[in-house]
Structure 1
């Protein structure tokens, strides 16, 4: 989920914790638990600082080790230890329990995004992405804000958020069945599909679709349960050539290929250089595919520039590559 949603979820868990008699009966414990749930709901995304380094490091590592099983166990211990030094009178066990719940819930809800997490590390480095909930879901964010307003205006926070999380459990089931309906619609159109990737959008009834079969890639959308194929591309295996092999050694290209499960590629000879482009097919927006990796190499296969990330126009991509070159 996005940062804003994780913040309001941390506040909500602090309110929910008041149902715990130990928390509700101690001002110090309640304050420390609120701090613990807020920090715990944010800490797995500490790897966002990798964006300051470069996009390749961010794409390769975001939601990786910081969302892993060891991290989920370690974060609550570290947070609890720090808070306990500030509030030594707090109940240590209940502080740890609610902080652990906040960290666990952060990783758990991220699994339902299209981006996913490597939540099974160290047992598996596979990305777990159920693709049911958009990174920012207006309903999930909105209902948390509604609950916080009720709390401010005097409603009991424990029972308020208990009811809200009951509603959200039902909402997640609804999203599952909505996605399942889209999946069945895709199978009706492309019965020989070997892989179907369905990604949610901010709009409840709209989904992005990327499909593979033996010979083609298909890109489509589903609106109110109706599936429509928009683009088709012939599947062409990446050649084992010196140009491609040299491109794969670049950190931006390597990061893209480690993350994207469905993409097409292009090679073009431009003046005295090669341009190799990899295009993720999952995120088509306004007739453009914004998540790409591009590399320019001279005829000796020396890298001139490269980039991976989100670019929403060809003009902006060219400017980005010019900036990197200069």
Structure 2
């Protein structure tokens, strides 16, 4: 989820913590626990700083180690320990328990996005992504804001947050039901599908679609059970050439492949320079595919420059690569 949603989730969890007599019975413990749930709901995303280094490192490691099983166990110890030094009269055990729940909830809800997490590390490095909730979901965020406003105006925090979580439980169930119906509709529209990705948008009944058959890639959108296919690409096997193999060893293209489950490739020659481009098919926007990996190589298969990330125009891509096709 986005940062704003994680913040309101942390505050709401702090309200639910009032159900714990050890928390509700001590003003100091209450303050410490609310601080713990807010910080704990943000801590796993500390790896966002990797973006300052470069996109390849960020793509490979964001929601990786910091969302793993050891991290989920370690974050609450570090956070509750630090808060206990500030609030030594707080109940340390209950501070740790609610902080742990905040960290766990952060990683758990991230699993429902299309991006997903490596939540099973070190058991498995597989990305767990259920793809039923958009990174920013206005209904989830709005429901939290409404609950927090009710609390601020005097509503009982425990009952308010209990109602909030009950409503959101049924909302998640509804999202799974709609996603399942969309997948069935895609199978009916595109016979012979071998791989279907149905990704959420901010609108409840609108979903992004990317699908494979034995011979083609399909990209489209679903509006309820109505499937609109926008693009159809012939599937091509990856080239077994020195040029392509050299490009795939580049850190930017390697990071892209580790993250993208469905992409197509292009090789274009500009004078003495070859461009190898990988295009993620999941994120079509306004007739453009913004998530790409690009490498430029010379005739000796030497990497001249490369880039991976979100680019919404060719001009910006050329600036990133410091290379002009003209």
Q: TM tier, shorter chain?
A: over 0.9
What residue ranges of structure 1 are gaps of 5+ in the alignment?
A: none
Output aligned runs, 1:102-251, within 5 Å: 102-251=102-251
Instruction: Provide the residue aligned with 1:50 in structure 2.
Output: 50
Per the alignment, in what secondary structure is the counterpart of residue 112 of structure 1?
coil
Per the alignment, in what secondary structure is the counterpart of residue 268 of structure 2?
strand
Instruction: Provide the residue aligned with 2:270 in structure 1.
Output: 270
Rounded Cα–Cα distance in structure 2 between residues aligned with 1:234 and 1:67: 37
Please give the per-residue CA displacement for 1:85-120, whole angstroms capped at 9, x wherever unaligned.
Answer: 111111111111100100000000000000000111
Shift of 1:185: 0.1
- What's the TM-score, normalizing by structure 1? 0.98
Instruction: Provide the residue aligned with 1:281 in structure 2.
Output: 281
Please say if residues 294 and 306 of structure 2, whose CA atoms lie closer than 8 Å, have aligned partners that are also in contact.
yes
Rounded Cα–Cα distance in structure 1 between residues aligned with 2:287 and 2:51: 27
Please give the per-residue CA displacement for 1:278-307, whole angstroms capped at 9, x wherever unaligned.
Answer: 000000010000000011111122222111
Per the alignment, in what secondary structure is the counterpart of residue 266 of structure 2?
strand
Please give the per-residue CA displacement for 1:5-30, whole angstroms capped at 9, x wherever unaligned.
Answer: 00010111111111111110100110
Please say if residues 65 and 121 of structure 2, whose CA atoms lie closer than 8 Å, have aligned partners that are also in contact.
yes
Per the alignment, in what secondary structure is the counterpart of residue 277 of structure 1?
strand
Instruction: Provide the residue aligned with 2:72 in structure 1.
Output: 72
Q: How many residues align?
A: 324
Shift of 1:148: 1.2
Rounded Cα–Cα distance in structure 2 between residues aligned with 1:189 and 1:223: 13
Q: Could you tell which deviates more after superposition, 251-260 or 224-233?
A: 224-233
Rounded Cα–Cα distance in structure 1 between residues aligned with 2:239 and 2:224: 40
Shift of 1:224: 2.3
Please say if residues 274 and 299 of structure 2, whose CA atoms lie closer than 8 Å, have aligned partners that are also in contact.
yes
Per the alignment, in what secondary structure is the counterpart of residue 196 of structure 1?
strand
Per the alignment, in what secondary structure is the counterpart of residue 202 of structure 2?
coil
Q: Could you tell which deviates more after superposition, 194-203 or 222-231?
A: 222-231
Please give the per-residue CA displacement for 1:205-224, whole angstroms capped at 9, x wherever unaligned.
Answer: 10000111111111110012
Per the alignment, in what secondary structure is the counterpart of residue 220 of structure 1?
strand
Instruction: Provide the residue aligned with 1:90 in structure 2.
Output: 90
Please give the per-residue CA displacement for 1:189-231, whole angstroms capped at 9, x wherever unaligned.
Answer: 1231111001000111100001111111111100122112111
Instruction: Provide the residue aligned with 1:41 in structure 2.
Output: 41
Rounded Cα–Cα distance in structure 1 between residues aligned with 2:261 and 2:157: 42
Please say if residues 183 and 196 of structure 2, whose CA atoms lie closer than 8 Å, have aligned partners that are also in contact.
yes
Rounded Cα–Cα distance in structure 2 between residues aligned with 1:197 and 1:127: 14
Instruction: Provide the residue aligned with 2:100 in structure 1.
Output: 100
Rounded Cα–Cα distance in structure 1 between residues aligned with 2:121 and 2:197: 22
Instruction: Provide the residue aligned with 1:13 in structure 2.
Output: 13
Please say if residues 182 and 224 of structure 2, whose CA atoms lie closer than 8 Å, have aligned partners that are also in contact.
no
What CA RMSD, in Å, does the superposition of the two structures yield over aligned residues?
1.1
Per the alignment, in what secondary structure is the counterpart of residue 308 of structure 1?
strand
Rounded Cα–Cα distance in structure 1 between residues aligned with 2:314 and 2:185: 33
Shift of 1:323: 7.8
Rounded Cα–Cα distance in structure 2 between residues aligned with 1:146 and 1:271: 59
Rounded Cα–Cα distance in structure 2 between residues aligned with 1:11 and 1:109: 15
- Off by >6 Å, runs of 4+ in structure 1: none
What residue ranges of structure 2 are gaps of 5+ in the alignment?
A: none
Per the alignment, in what secondary structure is the counterpart of residue 81 of structure 1?
helix
Shift of 1:321: 1.5
Rounded Cα–Cα distance in structure 2 between residues aligned with 1:225 and 1:312: 29
Rounded Cα–Cα distance in structure 2 between residues aligned with 1:323 and 1:170: 51
Please give the per-residue CA displacement for 1:114-139, whole angstroms capped at 9, x wherever unaligned.
Answer: 00001111111111000000000000
